[in-house]
Amino acid sequence: MKIGFIGLGIMGRPMALNLIKAGHQLGVYSRRKESCQAIIDAGAQYFATPKDLAPHVEVIITMLPAPADVEDVLLGKNGVINTVKPGTIVIDMSTISVVATERFAERLAKKEVAMLDAPVSGGEQGAIDGTLTIMVGGDAQVLEKVQPIFDVLGGRTTHIGKLGAGQTAKACNQIIIAETIVAVSEALSLAKASGVDPEKVREALMGGYASSRVLEVHGERMLKDTYAPGFKAALHRKDMHLAVDQAQHVGINIPAATYAMQCLDRLVLKGHGQLDSSAIHLLVED
């Protein structure tokens, strides 16, 4: 397929490379052309703006940090909407709000462009390995057309429901991860403060109901005190604010998620936003 890929950061770069390796033709755009160089070297064509890219492709994927970034590339003065062909499919794989997703889709629909929201979980390694978990909202028939793309990028694709449902599923994912990071950190800190080897405690817990990928991966980071980002705290903070905002929008209270969000707020305020979100452990240790 002829695919436009916008957003070539930690996640987007390996995803784009995997699509090229699978035989898809890629056009790419990034605000910093140098971030695209590996993709260009692999055979992608670089475009100076999303507006320049849009008429040359049949599918456009966005993988961007925040709602404002997605809005700019889709609807801005140099955005996709200005030149996109009817029948094009836009897949937003960013993590943004349901409200923003619905608004973008409504505008694109006036150009006869279908949109799916398809946020992912699995981190940088999942993007590299092509094993991401993909949560899709939108029309099932549109999803069927682009399933070959998702088969390259992910190990599991789930059609959650209507447009925006993918973003809701991602919010739920981020809540569980953030709360579990806090729980793992508190547990390891309790072990240490009690004079018990936290490594041995983690080893034991990995064999029971407390076992999780967070305990395995993030717990190891906490024990080694190394926080090179798999997923930056600043981005996780953004996602948690989206989740708490959505809870308020639908009228429910999620206090544990709110506390985890506040931990990420404090971590970023301390200047640690570029560390992995497991660096919450630094706060707990304090």
Residues serving a catalytic function are 170
Nearest to 173 by CA among 187, 196, 156, 192: 156
How does 134-172 read in b/e, with b if 16+ C-beta sit within 10 Å? bbbbbbeebbeebeebbeebbeebebbeebbbbbbbbbe
How far are the Cα atoms of 59, 154, 192, 209, 252 from residue 28, in angstroms, in the given order? 12, 20, 48, 44, 40
Is residue 219 within 8 Å of residue 203, measured between CB atoms? no
Is residue 186 within 8 Å of residue 284, measured between CB atoms? yes
Q: How far apart are CA 235 and CA 249, in angstroms?
A: 21
Please calculate the CA angle 265-270-276 and round it to the nearest 5 degrees: 70
Please calculate the CA angle 72-15-244 and round it to the nearest 5 degrees: 55
Is residue 31 within 8 Å of residue 11, measured between CB atoms? no
Count CA atoms closer than 13 A to 167's CA, side-chain side.
28
Rg of the chain, C-alpha, whole Å: 20
Q: How far apart are CA 95 and CA 108, in angstroms?
A: 18
Burial class (CB in 10 A: 0-12, 13-18, 19+), 194: exposed
